[in-house]
Amino acid sequence: MSRSGQTRRARVVIAPDEFGGTLTAQAAAAAIAAGWRRARPDDRLDLLPQSDGGPGFVDVLTAAGVGRTVEVPAVGPLGEPVVAHLLLDDTSAYLESAQVCGLHLLGEDGPSPRSAWAADTAGLGMLLTAAVDAGARRIVVGLGGSATTDGGRGACENLGGWDAARALLSDVELVAATDVTNPLLGPTGAAAVFGPQKGADAATLARLEERLAAWVDVLEHGGRRVRDLPGSGAAGGLGAFLLALGAHRGAGASVVADVTDRAARIAAADLVITGEGRFDRQTAYGKVIAAVAADAASAAVPVVVIAGQVVDGATVDGVRDVYSMARHAGSVERSVAQPAAVAADVAEHVARTWEPTRGKGEGGMRE
């Protein structure tokens, strides 16, 4: 409270990622804002949805007022028809691999050893072709949330093969926007680390690793060695295909930060609230929360995280407090069933426990 007994009006930046398929980044920001306003209606809220290149990448950029979207008929990871979107901004195009390769496209059966082996990236080839046909000279591909582990072979074959793919994209600047730095092969590679969440059992993992190793020999024939490059294992090895085509890697969260002027907006805030579906040990490595916290730390602005679930022991430099929606709701099931309502309730609780002071970073919160 101020000396007059009135709560000082604060500026709060709300910059979450999507919440694991239960809330888009935009919906999460809106829910957090609604809850915050119940406790502190006079604060100035700056909604700043974010993405690390995975699901929601194009939607977040669109919401930020970037370019115009174009519908593209394509196919999903198992060959089913889907409608994807290009975001065109002058001569740049933004694509989201999850729109054509995403885990959410596997349907009610979900991931299985069969889908882990069969899923491919042909739809991404269709998006790349559409981007070139639209006149794009720079193509940014958001990588993440994929059901595929084909090393980009499906995309390559859809483009007519390796020589045709290189010819089509020879004069295009390619950016692989990803939140992971994993290499293609080995114990930290695409199959070993991400294959299990895509449904692969031990036998399928071994087959996927062998297939990726054979495919990368083709990608590297007469060209650059990409198998060990950071990000080559992204989106089931789709990163390796793009890097072999000459792409350079850019952190997905940084791509969105540049477009949304994130650092400047955070620097003007008294508090930043960010979040994601699961706050765990991977959060510190290239995820939205870590990127937002780094921007906030540079400006001495405190950061609070609201996450669907929180793994004990997980930390991110610059984050002051972490709030679990599942804990607040009493169960993971309720948190997943009513994500917007629970996120709003948690935000209201945070707002009631936080009081801005004259110095940034001095407000305190408790779980």
In tens, the pLDDT along 268-327 reads 999 999 999 999 988 888 789 999 999 999 999 999 999 999 998 899 999 999 999 999
Domain annotation covers residue 1: no
Within this chain, do residues 91 and 235 fall inside the same structural domain, yes or no?
yes
Widest CA span of the chain, in angstroms? 73
Domain annotation covers residue 316: yes
Q: Which two tokens stand for residue 68?
A: 């115009």
Domain annotation covers residue 184: yes
Within this chain, do residues 335 and 204 fall inside the same structural domain, yes or no?
no
Domain annotation covers residue 6: no
Within this chain, do residues 69 and 89 fall inside the same structural domain, yes or no?
yes
Count of domains observed in the chain: 2
> pLDDT band for position 95 (50/70/90)?
very high
Closest alpha carbon to 155 in 242, 232, 25, 246: 242
Domain annotation covers residue 4: no
Within this chain, do residues 77 and 224 fall inside the same structural domain, yes or no?
yes
Closest alpha carbon to 153 in 190, 206, 199, 186: 190
Within this chain, do residues 28 and 170 fall inside the same structural domain, yes or no?
no
Domain annotation covers residue 2: no
Any idea which residue has 């009081």 for tokens? 355
Burial code (b: 16+ CB inside 10 Å, e: under 16) for 185-222 equals bbeebbbbbbbeebbbeeebbebbbebbbebbeebeee
CATH of the domain at 240: 3.90.1510.10
pLDDT in tens, 182-208: 999 999 999 999 999 999 999 999 999
Within this chain, do residues 130 and 43 fall inside the same structural domain, yes or no?
no
pLDDT, the chain, mean: 92
Within this chain, do residues 82 and 118 fall inside the same structural domain, yes or no?
yes
| Length in residues, the chain | 367
Within this chain, do residues 126 and 97 fall inside the same structural domain, yes or no?
yes
pLDDT in tens, 141-152: 999 999 999 999
Any idea which residue has 């990127």 for tokens? 291
Residue range of the domain that includes 281: 11-49+270-353
Rounded CA gap, 312 and 310, in Å? 6
pLDDT in tens, 110-126: 999 999 999 999 999 99
**SS3 letters for 142-201?**
EECCECCCCCCHHHHHHCCCHHHHHHHCCCCEEEEEECCCCCCCCCCCHHHHHCHHHCCC
Q: Does 2 score more than 90 pLDDT?
A: no
Other Cβ atoms closer than 10 A to 290: 21
Within this chain, do residues 68 and 124 fall inside the same structural domain, yes or no?
yes
Mean pLDDT (whole number) for 331-356: 93
User: Higher pLDDT residue, 309 or 7?
Assistant: 309
Domain annotation covers residue 286: yes
